[in-house]
Amino acid sequence: MKNVITTTCNIGIFNVIKYYKKTKSTQIILKNFANSGYKEGLVVVAEQQTMGYGRNGNTWSSSIGGAWFSILLKPKINPRDTKDLLILLSIAIKNILEKIYHLDCEMKWPNDVLIYGKKIAGSMIEMEIEETTKEIKWAVAGIGINVNNDLPEELLATAISLKRVIKQTINIYDIIIYFISEFTNLYTRFQKSHQIK
């Protein structure tokens, strides 16, 4: 596809990043890749999503300027433990915002990150279970971070962007790499503590 750029990434399990200028949803694309047998560690990024969604199918405003991406995971854990994996995504987001940008963040269980009580980021997980073994075949985690994007008027009371907080434009792909690095460290420890006996 002409609107896709593929680059390599060598951070832990993450090895390939596919960038799309515009797509319906990074979740939809990555679930197709997962079903095609792609290995753990593939990342799909979109500059703009036309049908971005969050948990329970909620619409996610995904205009140009935000960090919209999904990551392919194949954790060897009990499916019921994916709720802890979802929290891990929020912790990774919270950590990079605090470490890199020195912001005070809070987590709203189980998947939102807030600044000044307003949502700056959210995450979700969709997965497929192997019918015979009941193990996780793949898990696709979607992450949305309001970075430089202008939020719709109706969301200004409940959401905020990083640019509005720190008063400067941020490199979106730096944010994604920061997240991948932070999540890699957390995920390694998580797998060890949650591995199937």
pLDDT tens per residue, range 145-196: 999 998 888 889 999 999 999 999 999 999 999 999 999 999 999 988 887 7
Instruction: Give the burial class of 168: count Cβ atoms within 10 A of its Cβ; 0-12 exposed, 13-18 middle, 19 or more buried.
Output: exposed
pTM for the model = 0.92
pLDDT tens track for 84-112: 999 999 999 999 999 999 999 999 988 89
| Alpha-carbon gap, residue 58 to 192, rounded angstroms | 32
CATH numbers and ranges of domains, the chain: 4-194 (3.30.930.10)
Strands 14-20 and 4-11: antiparallel
